[in-house]
Amino acid sequence: MSETTTDCLFCRILAGDIPADIIYESDTAIAFRDINPQAPTHVLIIPRKHVATINDIDPGDEEIVGSLYSAARDIAAAEGIAEEGYRAVMNCNEGAGQSVFHIHLHLLGGRTLSWPPG
Ligand code: DGP
């Protein structure tokens, strides 16, 4: 698995080739607002490393993947939704709704979120 791919939409956002409303950056991850928000707060948190799906996470990627959750914690606090509650979810493959094949944590909040999801 290459570190970046020119045909990956999110790698192109990382490279600055495609604009995005980036609200968070760290050594391992960035976050930007979803282009089609499903909640008042809908942020996508992605690793700088290109990993296509959860199934492609390598041994040694644990720190990178963990950093997505640290970002979710900090962004939720900054968005003012930490106490009321929010959802951090990652879809894997088409059957679960994944449409962009560079792993991303959806951070959703600012409204009541029902369970189970559709
Ligand atoms: P998923 O279906 O889990 O792979 O989520 C992909 C998300 O990516 C979806 O909620 C819409 C969002 N998205 C797709 N293209 C763009 C884009 O060009 N910019 C931004 N900000 N979000 C995008």
Other CB atoms within 10 Å distance of the CB of residue 67:
17
Distance 100 CA to ligand 1 centre (A): 7
Consecutive 10-residue averages of pLDDT for the chain (118 residues): 74 97 98 98 98 97 98 98 98 98 98 93
4: in domain: no
Q: Which atom of ligand 1 is nearest to the CA of 20?
A: 21
116: in domain: no
Domain count, the chain: 1
- Domain range for residue 57? 9-109
Query: What b-and-e string marks burial along 27-60, b requiring 16 or more CB atoms within 10 Å of the CB?
Result: ebbbbbebeeeebebbbbbbbbbbbbeeeebeee
1: in domain: no
CATH number at residue 87: 3.30.428.10
Q: State the pLDDT at residue 4.
A: 62
| 104 counts as catalytic | yes
Which position among 42, 50, 102, 104 bears the catalytic label?
Answer: 104
28: in domain: yes
Q: State the pLDDT at residue 2.
A: 47
Q: State the pLDDT at residue 61.
A: 97
76: in domain: yes
